[in-house]
Each structure stands twice: as C-alpha cells, then as structure tokens.
Amino acid sequence: MANKTVSADRGSTLQTIRNLWPYMWPAERPDLKMRVVYATFFLVSAKFVLMLVPYAFKWATNALDGKLTAAEWIPAALLAPVMLVVAYNVFRIIQQGLNQLRDALFASVGQHAVRQLAYRTFVHMHNLSLRFHLERRTGGLSRIIERGTKGIETIVRFTILNTAPTIIEFALTAVIFGFTYGWQYVAVTGVTIYLYAWFTIRASDWRIQIRRDMNNSDTDANTKAVDSLLNFETVKYFGNEEMESRRFDESMAGYERAATRVWTSLGWLNFGQGVIFGIGMLIMMGMSARAVQVGEQTIGDFVFINAMLMQLSIPLNFIGFIYREIRQGLTDIEQMFDLLDVDEEVKDKPGAADLVVSDGTVKFDDVHFAYDPQRQILKGISFEVPAGKSVAIVGPSGAGKSTISRLLYRFYDVQQGAITIDGQDVRDVTQKSVRAVIGMVPQDTVLFNDTIRYNIRYGRPDATDKEVEKAAEMAQIGDFIRSLPEGFETMVGERGLKLSGGEKQRVAIARTILKAPPIQVLDEATSALDTATEQEIQQALDFVSKGRTTLVIAHRLSTVIGCDEIIVLRDGLIAERGTHASLMAMMDGLYASMWARQSEAIEAEKKLREAQETDEMGVIVRKRPWDPEASPALAETDSGVSASTARDGSARGFTSGS
C-alpha cells in the first residue's frame, strides 16, 4: 500500500514537472531562452573559478611553509605568499560576481514564469462554470493561487540555477581527487554523497505529508477568516464574534501543530545531514593527516582537501535544500495545477462564430435543465420574446425563474431543447458575443471595491465621464452622487457595502444603461427600492427598454403590469401566460391569486402604518399590538411571495444617508 502511495506521488510529481516545463523554457520567448543560456554559461564559469579557490589556498599555505616550487613559465613573484593570498580572494570575488550576473540574467525568466502561470490560472478561473464558483470557497481558492505562483518561481529558479551546477561541482571534485590523491578519496566522497542524498530524499519525502497538512490547515484558516470578514454584518447581527474567533483559532491550532512538526522534522533532517557529512570529512581528513605525517602530502594538500570538502558541503546542503524546496514547491502548486485541470463545463465549440444580432428575438424551445439529475428545474419551457418586446417571468420561489436568466447567459448549457437569439443557438456561438449583447440588472447587486464611477463604467469601459454621468442621471442616482463629498470618486467599499441596497441597485441599473445592449434582463431590478423611487426607476427602465428585447424576472407583480406578455412558472412548467388583464380575468388562476395576496399584504401594511404614530423624537410607537390572525396577508404566503417581498422597500430601500 505504501509503495503504491509513493509511486502515485512520484507520478504526480513527474506530471507536475512536465506541466512546469513550458514556463521554465518559454517557447514563445527566444530572448528569455537566451537569458537561460547565458545564465547557465556564467553559472558553469563560476564553478570553474570556484575550483581555483582551494588551489590558491593550497599554494599560499605551501609558500608560507617554504615548500612551493615555481614552474619555469610562472614568475616567482606571482608565487609569493602575499600574491597567492590576493589571488585567493580575487578568485572568490570573481566567482561571486559571476553568480550575481547569473541571478540578474535569470530574474526576468523566473518572474515571467510566475506572471504567465498566474495569468493562465486567473483566466481559467473566469472560464469555469458558475457551478464551480458556487461550490468553491473564495478564501481557500485565493490562498492556493498565492502559494502556487510563489512555488513556480522557486522550482524554476532552483531547477535551472542549482541542480546543474551542483552536478558539475560533484564531477569536478571527483576528477580532482581521483587524479591528485587516488581512488580512495573518490570512494569516500562518493559514499558520503550517496548516503547524504539518500537520507535527504527519504527524510524530505516523510516531511512532504507534514507540509501538506500544514497547507491544508492554512487554507482552512484563511477560508474561515475571509468568509467571516465578507459576512461581517451577519456576524454582528447575531453576535457570533466569539464563535467565529473560536472556529478560526481551531484552524490555526491545526496549523500550529503542523508547522511545529515541519520545523521539528527540519531539525532532524539537518542534524542527520550534519552527521553523515561530518563522518565523511572525518575519514578524509584523517587519511590526509596520515599522508602528511609520512611525507606523501604537504600541509598545503591537507588544507586543500579541507577547503574542497568545505566547498563541497555547500552544494551538498543545496541537495537537501533544492530537493526540499522543489518538493515543497510542487506540493504548493499541485493544487493550482489541479485547478487548471478542472474542465470547463461550458465551452465554445471549435471555430464558433460570434453572435450576430439583427432584431434581438429570444426564443426558448422545449428547454429542460437540472442542476442535479435527481432534481429537474425546467421541464420543457417554450416561449419567445419578440424583438423590441418585453416578457415577464413570474411565479413562486423555486419555480425556475432565475435559472432562465442563467441559461440565457450561458452560465450553464441546456440538457435538452435550445435557446436561440435571432435563430442562432447560443451553444453554437461564442460565450463572449452572447454576453456582449445582454444587459443584466441582478436582484443581488455586488459592486467592486472601487469608485462609483468605476462601477458604472464597468458596463462599458471605454465610456466617457459625460456618458457615465448621464447613465447615473437616468438611473435616478445622479443627485445622490453629487451630494457625496467625493462625488463619482467615492469608494463603495467591499461588495458595495457602503451603499444601501437601493443605491447599489441604482448603480447596477446605471451600469446596464451605459452598456445599452439590444437585449436586457431585469432580475427583480427594483426590489430594493421604495414605492416612490420604484416608480421613478421603472419609468427610466421603460425608457431604456424601448426598442430593446426585455426579459423581466419579478416577484413584485406591480412591476410587470406593462409587459407585453407575462409567463407564470410553477414547478418548472408554464402554468399560465398572457397579458396582465387576461391573467387577472382568470379569477381562480395562479397569477390572480398571487396578485390578490400581494394586494392584501400591501393593504394590510397600509392599515398597520395608520395604526402607528410618531413621537416628537421620530420614534415609531405602535398604538396596539399586531395580531397576525387579524392580518393574515402579512404572514408568509404559500405562493412563495411574502409580505416582506411586497413591501415598499422602506426597510431595505434607498436611503441617502447610508
């Protein structure tokens, strides 16, 4: 079982390295390839210069001992002790300079790799389906991407800059020892390196699982922290700060345990490496000391062997360091590559053309759809939104109203039937072109943490400031924006939380007005507005919708009276359809029943307000307690439309003071 696990782990590692290769050797950037080549050249040159450092040390020692003899072609002055000491330090400086030049040349290669992988991951995340993002946790996802982008730089840098030179240094050391001092020194060096590498790899493999546990705990803690902060108001509403802190601390406790094990295991790894290398050095220095005593070697040779072994300890340490960093880097980025391997649920067909809109007619033809095979949402929906006309979709909660807008946007593809725009199946054209011709005002508006101007201009990034301000005026939010100290440059906060629900909805409406698409989807576009403001916005929407195909998804039936056709959904099927007048004529119909319940709710609330008085401080005081049996319309209705839905929005609507 353990062998299978190790085999699978190595197979995953090899696959990850294959995935990394395009970033390590970018085919589309010959200039970066040349930088890699130059960096490798300077790297190898630095290693050869490094080999001269122990020789200079040896010659200087022998010169001081009076046992250095000059060759005929070498001037005696160059072999003076002072000159040899100078040469020793010059060689070290040159070697350091070559290493720094290598790093400078390779810096752009590593950063290019980080940028490309981060960009590819970011694009891929946006190409994945809505289903994926609804199931993922933003905090954990962001941490995976953060660690992955850092991991690739580590792997690329250590693979190119350290693995090859380490091998070169081992080879040069073995050749020098073999030709100068005999095979015994090569044998001891080889055994030491083998045992050192074997121990390092085994210990590092053991530590990898500990590292994974630490990463998982880190991801979990970050996820809880981000979720809690994103839902700051909800935490405050229910006074659950202690519970959130406790959940975060539990995750951090797991991280603490795993991180402690990581550092403890690192200590054992370093100690074991030190023992193995120390024993190897002890044997070789003992052999050299004995050779000096019997006159086979000079003191300079003893110093030379010591210097060579000390230099060898650096790349030996790099064996452990490189292996650990690469394996840990692979561990950090394997989740990112898992994300990149997630298949895009909604894909453009090969060679798909852009959607060409002439009129803007939208047609649903026998559409079946289910998020889960065991729960069918739409069970054969067929309707048409003629060019320039408006069609409303109403019905109880869970009837499939919002699903229709998601399918039109191609967040999902239908499982049976077809959705066409001007006779073109949306599955046969590019997703980008479909979404370019549709404007959406969603029920739950989420804004970017940027300025009001940026959020409105998001509908059409190339719009001028004048066009942005005009769109704000049409959305009935221009006066409010001008009343703010910073006007259109006001920051809206995380998810737009500095604005009220009504203000956010107005910004969303302005954004769609600016986009000016031929097809519009209004998903409860005025749900967060009070009655008076709703009428003003509705007039603006009616004006903007003129000549445009409009699909209105609504709970509040008063907003769809003027639509050319109203479709009533129930349990994924069309229960009724017609104009407001024709549907109201069906006294026992679902639409008429929903209308009656909403009217009762509005009337009951009106009476409730009449039963209230306001004291001189502006605090509302009830004259008499509310009896739910006396006002049943204020209780939640079985049609899926509650009194809170039918209210005029005073509790959650537009408040200029928010």
Q: What is the largest CA-CA distance in the chain?
A: 120
Summary count for the chain: helices (H), strands (E): 20, 12
Question: Same domain, yes or no, for 195 and 220?
Answer: yes
Domain membership of residue 3 (yes or no) is: no
Q: In what order do the strands lie in the sheet with 549-553?
A: 438-441, 519-523, 549-553, 390-394, 565-570, 573-578
506 and 561 together in one domain: no
Same domain for 248 and 393, yes or no, is: no
* pLDDT winner (highest mean) among 18-32, 468-482, 642-656: 468-482
One-letter amino acid at 532 equals A
**Pick from 295, 294, 333, 658: which is nearest to 500 by CA?**
658
| Structure confidence at residue 364 (pLDDT) | 92
Q: Are 248 and 224 in contact (CB under 8 A)?
A: yes
Is the Cβ–Cβ distance between 374 and 423 less than 8 Å? Answer: no
Question: Which of 341, 369, 395 finishes a domain?
Answer: 341
Q: Do residues 454 and 314 share a domain? A: no
pLDDT of 365 reads 92
> Are 643 and 556 a contacting pair, CB within 8 Å?
no
What's the distance, CA 141 to chain centroid? 5
Identify the helix (H) or strand (E) that includes residue 604: helix 590-610
Give me the pLDDT at residue 39, please.
79
597: which 2 tokens?
């319940």
Is 115's pLDDT higher than 70?
Answer: yes
Residue 19 reports pLDDT greater than 60? yes
pLDDT of residue 200: 82
Average pLDDT over residues 185-212: 81
Q: Are residues 179 and 301 in the same domain?
A: yes
Predicted pLDDT of residue 649: 34
In a domain, 570, yes or no: yes
User: Are both 479 and 566 inside the same structural domain?
Assistant: no
Predicted confidence at residue 532, as pLDDT, reads: 63
Q: What is the pLDDT of residue 440?
A: 82
Residue 157 lies in a domain: yes
Query: With contact defined as beta carbons under 8 Å apart, do 44 and 165 qualify?
Result: yes
Tens digits of residue pLDDT in 324-355: 677 767 777 777 777 776 767 678 888 888 88
Lowest mean pLDDT among 19-23, 75-79, 171-175, 573-577: 75-79
Q: Where are the beta strands (DSSP E) in 432-481?
A: 438-441
Mean pLDDT of 42-58: 77
Tokens 């409010």 sit at which residue? Answer: 480
* Angle in degrees, CA 612, 618, 621, rounded to 5: 30
| Domain boundary, last residue among 285, 308, 341 | 341
User: 219: buried, middle or exposed (CB in 10 Å: 19+, 13-18, 0-12)?
Assistant: buried
Instruction: Write b or e for each residue in 475-491: b if 16 or more Cβ atoms lie within 10 A of its Cβ, otherwise e.
Output: bbbbebbeeeeeebeee
Task: Please give the Cα distance from 136 to 91 (Å, whole number).
Answer: 55
Q: Give 352-377 pLDDT, tens digit per residue.
A: 888 888 888 999 999 998 887 777 88
- How far apart are alpha carbons 501 and 383 in whole angstroms? 32
Q: Answer whether residue 319 shows pLDDT above 60.
A: yes
Same domain, yes or no: 360 and 495: no
The region of weakest confidence among 67-81, 127-141, 446-460, 602-616 is 67-81
Do 360 and 546 meet the contact criterion of CB atoms below 8 Å apart? no
User: Side-chain half-sphere of 209: how many Cα atoms within 13 Å?
Assistant: 8
Interval 591-621: pLDDT, tens: 888 888 877 766 766 666 666 544 444 444 4
CA torsion angle 625 628 631 632 (round to 10): 170
Q: How many domains does the chain have?
A: 3
* Model pLDDT for residues 375-385, shown as the tens digit of each residue: 788 888 899 98
Residues 304 and 169 in one domain: yes
Q: Specify the pairing of strand 416-421 against strand 424-425.
A: antiparallel
Of the given ranges (88-92, 238-242, 412-416, 584-588), which has the lowest mean pLDDT?
88-92
Do 236 and 179 sit in the same domain of this protein? yes
pTM, to two decimals: 0.57
Considering the chain, what is the average pLDDT of its residues?
75
pLDDT interval class at 67 (50, 70, 90)? low
Mark whether 354 and 332 lie in a shared domain: no
Residue 595 neighbours by CB distance under 10 Å: 20
Domain assignment of residue 5, yes or no: no
Cα–Cα distances in angstroms (integers) from residue 89 to residues 1, 31, 377, in the given order: 55, 34, 78
pLDDT at 655 over 60: no
Closest CA to 563 of 511, 501, 520, 514: 520
What is the spatial distance between Cα 382 and Cα 275, in angstroms, rounded to a whole number?
A: 77
Amino acid at site 463: A
Q: Does residue 438 surpass a pLDDT of 80?
A: yes
Q: Is residue 99 part of a domain?
A: yes
Q: What is the CATH number of the domain that holds 313?
A: 1.20.1560.10
Judge whether residue 652 has pLDDT over 70.
no
> At residue 139, what are phi and psi to the nearest 5 degrees?
-60, -50
What's the CATH number where 639 sits? Answer: 3.40.50.300
**Same structural domain, 135 and 29:** yes
Residue 442 lies in a domain: no
In this predicted structure, the answer to whether residue 4 has a pLDDT above a threshold of 50 is: no
What digits encode the pLDDT tens for the residues 623-635? Answer: 444 444 443 333 3
213-234: pLDDT as tens digits: 787 788 778 878 877 887 777 7
**Are the CB atoms for 48 and 30 separated by under 8 Å?**
no
DSSP letter, residue 520:
E
| Most confident segment among 127-131, 237-241, 592-596 | 592-596
Domain that holds residue 473: 447-516
450 neighbors 491 (Cβ within 8 angstroms): yes
Going by pLDDT thresholds of 50, 70 and 90, the confidence category of residue 104 is confident
Looking at residue 77, what DSSP letter applies? G
pLDDT of 294 above 70? yes
Residue that finishes a domain, picked among 460, 490, 516: 516
Task: Categorize the per-residue pLDDT at 555 as very low, low, confident or very high, splitting at 50, 70 and 90.
Answer: confident
Please write the tens of the pLDDT for every residue from 392-420. 898 887 778 888 888 888 888 888 899 99
**How, if at all, do strands 565-570 and 390-394 pair?**
parallel
4, part of any domain: no
C-alpha closest to that of 311 among 183, 177, 199: 177
Q: What is the pLDDT, as a whole number, of residue 617?
A: 44
* Rounded-to-integer distance, Cα 251 and Cα 224, Å: 8
Output 481 or 626, whichever has higher pLDDT.
481
1-10, 38-47, 143-152, 202-211, range with the lowest pLDDT: 1-10
The average pLDDT across 118-132 equals 71
Q: Give the model's pLDDT for residue 634.
A: 36
- 301 near 109, Cβ under 8 Å? no
**Is the per-residue pLDDT at 656 higher than 50?**
no
Structure tokens at 508: 């969303």
Over residues 505-553, the pLDDT tens digits come to: 788 888 888 888 888 888 876 665 666 666 666 776 776 677 788 888 8
Q: Is residue 300 part of a domain?
A: yes
Q: Which residue has the tokens 């290019």?
A: 112
Can you tell me the distance from the alpha carbon of 227 to that of 75, in angstroms, rounded to the nearest whole number?
Answer: 75
Taking only Cα atoms into account, the Rg of the chain, rounded to an integer number of angstroms, comes to: 37
Query: How far does CA 495 lie from the centroid of its chain?
Result: 17
pLDDT band at 645 (very low <50, low <70, confident <90, very high): very low
Tokens of 378: 């739409």
Residue 152 shares a structural domain with residue 268: yes
